[in-house]
Structure 1
Amino acid sequence: MRLFECGTLVPGCEWHTRADNDAEVVRRAVEHLRTAHGETVIRENMVENIKSRIVDEKVSA
């Protein structure tokens, strides 16, 4: 699973999402930025910032 934690981009935000692929993670993150943080325009550099913060979720045994 791929994981994005909004707090890595917006300090103090505890929202996170998981999905099987980066495209779905980015879609959810963009939706979150619009609804929770009032972003009306999502520029390409914002998408790149999201992508650079997506990580493989560590699975605990």
Structure 2
Amino acid sequence: MRLFECGTLVPGCQWHTRADQDAEVVRRAVEHLRTDHGEDIIRENMVENIKARIRDEAKPDAA
């Protein structure tokens, strides 16, 4: 599972999303930036910044 935490891009934002594919994570993150942060134009460098912050979600240790 892939994870993006908006606070890594917009300090103080607690929003996050996870999905199997990076493309879906980016789609959700772009929608979040539009609706919650008022970004009307999402430039390519913003998409690249989102992609750079997507990471594998840590899996809890099995006991």
- Category of TM-score, reference length = shorter chain: over 0.9
Q: What is the aligned-residue RMSD (CA, Å)?
A: 0.3
Gaps of 5+ in 1: none
Aligned to 2:20: 20
Matched position secondary structure for 1:35: helix
TM-score for the superposition, normalised by structure 1: 0.99
User: Identity, % of aligned pairs?
Assistant: 82
Gaps of 5+ in 2: none
TM-score for the superposition, normalised by structure 2: 0.96
Rg: which structure is higher? Answer: 2
Aligned to 1:45: 45
Distance in 1, matches of 2:50 and 2:42, equals 11
